[in-house]
Structure 1
C-alpha cells in the first residue's frame, strides 16, 4: 500500500503541476518532449523513494510504461479532437500500472513519513481534479455544447490557470514536507 501511495503522489505531481504548457506542447511534438515529461516523472519518483537506486527495475518499468502510454495517447488522439475521454483513459492506465507495481513491490520505502503520504495525495489531487474539469469544459466549449452555461464558459477560460497555480502551491507544500519532515 505504501508503494501505491508513493507512486500515486509522484504521478499526481509529475502529470499536473510539473507538466507545464510548454512541456505539454513539447510532448505533442515528438519523442524529446515525451522523454522530458517521463524524466520529470522519474525524478519525482526517485526523490520520493528512499534508496531509489535499489529499485532501479521498478523505476525503469514505471518510466517505460509511462512513455508508452503517453506515446499511444498522443499518436491516437489528435489535439483538435475531444480530449476528455482520452484524458480519463490515460489516467486510468497510469493508475493500473501503479497498482501493478504496488502489487509487485508493495513496500517501497518512502522518504516522506508514511503519515504524510495520504494528506499529500489528497492535496495534490486538487490540481488534478481542476485539470479534469478544465479538459471536460474545454471539450464542451470546442464542441459548442453547453456554451450557454456561464459556468462552463468560466471553467473553459479559468480552470487551467487555476489548476496550474494551485499545482505550484501544492508542489511547494510537498517540497516543504520533504525538506522539513518533522514539522
Structure 2
C-alpha cells in the first residue's frame, strides 16, 4: 500500500503544484470548464504514467480517481463563496489526500502490478515519497502561506521582487531537510538567524512585526508538518540506502 500511495501522492503534487500554471489555476477558480478538464486530464495522465498502468482494472481505478479529483475541484469552485482562502485550500487538499488513501488502501498492488515496478530499484518508492514531500513543503507551502497572509496584503516589507517568496521556499526546504536528517534542533538556529536579520526592519512597527511573526510561524509549522508526514510514509517503505550521518 505504501508504495502505491507514494506514487499517487507524487502524481497529485506534480499535477496540482508543478504542472498547473497560474493561468490554469485562475481559470479553474473562475469555473472555466475547459481549463478544469485540462487540469484533470493532466492528473489522470501523470498518475497513469507514474504507476505504469497496464491492466484494464488499473486504468479504471485511475479514471475513477481522476473523476474524484474533478468532483473535488468543482465542489471547491461551487463553495468558494463560503470556503475560500486558506480554509478552502486545506479542505481541498485534505479531500484529495483522502481519495489517495482510499485508492491505495483498496488497490495496494497498483504499483507492484504496474509496468515499471519489476525494473525499478527497491528504493524508488522512498525517493518518490521524498520528492512529493519536498514539493509539498516548499511549493505547496508557498501557495498556502500566500492565501493565509492575503488578508494583510497591504502590510509587508519592501525588498527584492519575489524575495519573500524565495526566502519562504528556502526556509521550508531547510526545515524539511533538517527533520529528515534527524537534526530538528537546527530549526532553532534558523529561527534565531531570521529574527536577527528581520529585527531592524520591524522593531518599531507592531503591525509589521506581527505580520512577520505570523508568516514565519505558519511557514515553519507547515514545513514541519510536511516533513513529519514524509518521515511517517518513509518508515513504511524500503530504505533509501542513505548512510546515517549523525555522530
State the TM bucket, normalised to the shorter chain.
0.7 to 0.9
Number of residues paired by the alignment?
155
Describe the SS at the equivalent of 1:26: helix
Q: Does 1:127 align with 2:147?
A: no
How far 1:52 moved relative to its partner? 4.4
Structure 1 distance, partners of 2:14, 2:59, is: 20
Aligned position for 1:66: 69
Q: List aligned pairs for 1:134-149, cutoff 5 A.
A: 134-141=146-153, 147=155
**Equivalences for 1:2-21 in 2 at 5 Å?**
2-21=3-22
2:59 maps to what in 1?
56
Runs of 4+ in structure 1 off by over 6 angstroms are: 153-157
Unpaired segments ≥5 residues, structure 2: 170-247
Q: What is the SS of the residue equivalent to 2:18?
A: coil
Q: Is the 8 A contact 1:137 1:155 kept in 2?
A: no
Tell which deviates more after alignment, 9-18 or 20-29.
20-29
Deviation of 1:92 after TM superposition, in Å, equals 0.3
Question: Given the alignment, which residue of 97, 101, 108 partners 1:106?
Answer: 108
Which has the larger share of helix? 1
Match of 2:241 in 1: none
Task: Give the TM-score normalised by the residue count of structure 1.
Answer: 0.73
TM-score normalised by length of structure 2 = 0.55
- Judged with a 3 Å threshold, the aligned counterparts in structure 2 of structure 1 residues 4 and 17 are, in CA distance, closer, same or farther, namely same
Alignment of 1:163-178 (within 5 A): none
Which structure would you say has the larger Rg?
2
Give RMSD over aligned pairs: 3.0
Contact 2:7–2:125 at 8 Å: present in 1 too?
no
Q: How far does the alpha carbon of each residue in 1:119-138 deviate from its partner, in whole angstroms, 9 at most, with x for none?
A: 22222222111221112122
Q: Answer yes or no: is 1:150 the counterpart of 2:157.
A: yes
DSSP 3-state at the match of 1:16: helix
